[in-house]
């Protein structure tokens, strides 16, 4: 953990879960601080990951899970025909545009989770082969999943950023606070 997540108010489970999601979002946003579009698109490892691609992916994943929880269609449908675009910025996409989109997604996540009657409320999983048949998950599960998913990719972002210019997560926290 690079930043401290303040303790929630007594009994504010939603606030605690949302604070941990936001902390992990911050790790990815900080990894992009001071980079050019070209640097954000650079893939410095043997894999396909770039910081811009990770940003796009986590924003899409968060939006998709909240849409599922609302029992709505995700904003972007991914399948074999467009999966290759999931982890990279297309020519017409920018880091600034993806950051702005993610900010909207985050606000919608906060609004939805805070207004839901209960974190115990469940919704059906889609009929994808990697989900159990007729599976259901709770809103609490969604929050925990978003923490896990975003944290996993925040770790990737740390490695990619350090590969680009040597800056570590601690240096980026200091840069953010100075900015």
108-140 pLDDT, tens digit per residue, is 999 999 999 999 999 999 888 889 999 999 999
The DSSP symbol for 34 reads: T
User: What value does the mean pLDDT of the chain take?
Assistant: 93
Residue 52 neighbours by CB distance under 10 Å? 26
Chain CA centroid to CA 70, Å: 18
Looking at residue 1, what is its pLDDT? 53
Give the residues across from 136 on adjacent strands. Answer: 124
Per-residue pLDDT at 108: 98
Low-confidence ranges of the chain (pLDDT < 70): 1-2
* C-alpha distance from residue 3 to each of 19, 22, 29, 56, 177 (Å): 11, 11, 13, 23, 11
Distance from C-alpha of 23 to C-alpha of 135, rounded to nearest angstrom: 29
């Amino acid at each position: 953990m690079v930043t401290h997540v303040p303790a929630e108010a007594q009994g504010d489970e939603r606030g605690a879960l949302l604070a941990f999601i936001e902390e992990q979002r911050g790790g990815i946003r900080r990894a992009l601080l001071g980079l050019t579009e070209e640097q954000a698109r650079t893939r410095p490892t043997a894999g396909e990951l770039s910081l811009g691609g990770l940003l796009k992916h986590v924003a899409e994943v968060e939006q998709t899970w909240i849409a599922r929880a609302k029992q709505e269609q995700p904003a972007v449908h991914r399948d074999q025909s467009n999966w290759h675009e999931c982890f990279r910025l297309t020519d017409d996409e920018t880091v600034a545009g993806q950051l702005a989109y993610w900010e909207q997604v985050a606000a919608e996540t906060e609004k939805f989770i805070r207004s839901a009657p209960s974190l115990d409320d469940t919704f059906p999983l889609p009929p994808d082969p990697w989900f159990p048949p007729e599976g259901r998950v709770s809103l609490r599960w969604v929050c925990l999943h978003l923490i896990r998913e975003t944290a996993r990719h925040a770790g990737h972002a740390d490695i990619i950023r350090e590969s680009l210019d040597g800056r570590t997560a601690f240096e980026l926290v200091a840069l953010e606070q100075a900015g």
